[in-house]
Amino acid sequence: MGDLYFDERYGKLYEEIEKGVCQVFEFDHSLGRVQHLFIKREIPILLGSERYFDIVTPYGYGGPLMTGCKPEHREELASAFAEAFAVYCEAEGVVSEFIRFHPVLGNAQDFENSYEVRYLRDTVGTSITAHDDPVKAEFSSSARKNIRKALRDGVEFRVTLGPRDLREFQRIYFATMDRNHADPFYYFNEKYFNQLLESFRERLLLVEALYEGEVIGMELQFVYNDLIHTHLSGTYEAFHHLSPVYIMQYATVLWAKEHGITLIHGGGGRTNSPDDSLLRFKQQFARHTSFSFYSGQKVWNEDVYRRLCQEANTAVTDDFFPAYRKRPAKETSEV
């Protein structure tokens, strides 16, 4: 499949975190092909002796993706896929599914009649090949000013494709997570980083900001075909006055321009609010490039879904999906 989030090796990175198994459902049809990568998770609620499962997109984006289909046949192919996938879900005991569709590839629109598709928020990116000077075109004037000042103050940068070691990155990343009181989900363990190197070293881009020879910020990105996906980052608070994040964004754009990259996708905010502070920050590097991010949800077995909600003492109509996985209010987070 044509992007990072549709690579089975990427899905396998999140099997332990999601407590499930990465699977790919492949649907071949005379009108085209649909591939659907997901994590299949056992539902921790027993109904008698029966065990059931649900499906979720691995961290990031995904959903079913069409290839080789003419525009006039996409609706028909989506319908045929949904019928075949319903048979799979029944055979596999899959009760519900939650998808985070890919905002750049826009696959949500193909499956609007197959899932309950909801607009969540915008994500942003920096277009590279669309501009002779993407820094001038996409970066805000204040961002460019911060970069000029940081460079004058002696901040440098280093960009490495295929890093051999991520231990320094882990240190700075965890320091940042501690400072931000991050959800435990984001404390990826040693096994995760080892798998990253084993499966994706040649596609990992490590961007560093340095001051007087000392690393003050690091970003880990994925390079996949002509796209760069921002993944994880960290900075040391004592050096924030030197604008390490601005320097790393600048360095990434320069590298991308030199290596024929079309787009750097920076993702969105922490919430769905258009005023989300993280989104607003990212928009400083994406003045003209944004994408619509949609989720999709589906109950494949209405009866079992209702019974699971009863066991979990949650309402079927709850905004949280799937409702039977809703935690007490103080612990609730997105699926």
pTM: 0.93
CATH code: domain 123-292 is 3.40.630.30
Percent of the chain with pLDDT over 70: 97
Extract the tokens encoding 261: 């990259």
Q: Rounded CA gap, 322 and 55, in Å?
A: 10
Whether 38 and 55 have beta carbons less than 8 Å apart is answered as yes
Average of per-residue pLDDT values in the chain:
95
Per-residue pLDDT at 328: 52
Give Cβ neighbours of residue 156 (< 8 Å, ≥ 6 apart): 209, 210, 211
The Cα-based distances of 192 to 9, 164, 260, 302, 314 in angstroms read: 12, 15, 29, 35, 33
Residue closest to 56 by CA, chosen among 322, 310, 269: 322
Per-residue pLDDT at 317: 84
Q: Return the sign of the alpha-carbon dihedral for residues 30, 34, 35, 38.
A: negative
Whether 263 and 130 have beta carbons less than 8 Å apart is answered as no
Instruction: Give burial (CB, 10 Å; 0-12/13-18/19+) of 261.
Output: buried
Identity of the amino acid at 228 = I
SS3 category, 292: strand
Q: Rounded CA gap, 244 and 217, in Å?
A: 6
Compute how many other C-beta atoms are within 10 angstroms of the C-beta atom of residue 280: 13
Residue closest to 18 by CA, chosen among 4, 38, 39: 39
Percent of the chain with pLDDT over 90: 94
Whether 109 and 333 have beta carbons less than 8 Å apart is answered as no
Burial track 235-255 (b if 16+ CB lie within 10 A, e otherwise): bbeebeebbbbbbbbbbbbeb
Extract the tokens encoding 300: 């494949």
Per-residue pLDDT at 318: 81
The residue count of the chain comes to: 335
Q: What is the mean pLDDT of residues 304-329?
A: 89
Per-residue pLDDT at 233: 97
Q: Rounded CA gap, 120 and 310, in Å?
A: 28
Residue closest to 253 by CA, chosen among 129, 151, 149: 129
Domain boundaries, the chain: 4-114+301-331, 123-292
Extract the tokens encoding 120: 């969540």
Query: What confidence tens digit (pLDDT) does each residue in 244-290 have?
Result: 999 999 999 999 999 999 999 999 999 999 999 999 999 999 999 99
- What Rg value do the Cα atoms of the chain yield, rounded? 21
Whether 70 and 107 have beta carbons less than 8 Å apart is answered as no
User: Is the bond leading into 274 cis (omega within 30 degrees of zero)?
Assistant: no
Helices (H) and strands (E) in the chain, counts: 10, 12
Q: Rounded CA gap, 112 and 37, in Å?
A: 18
Host H or E run for residue 204: strand 204-211
Query: What confidence tens digit (pLDDT) does each residue in 108-139 have?
Result: 999 999 999 999 999 999 999 999 999 999 99
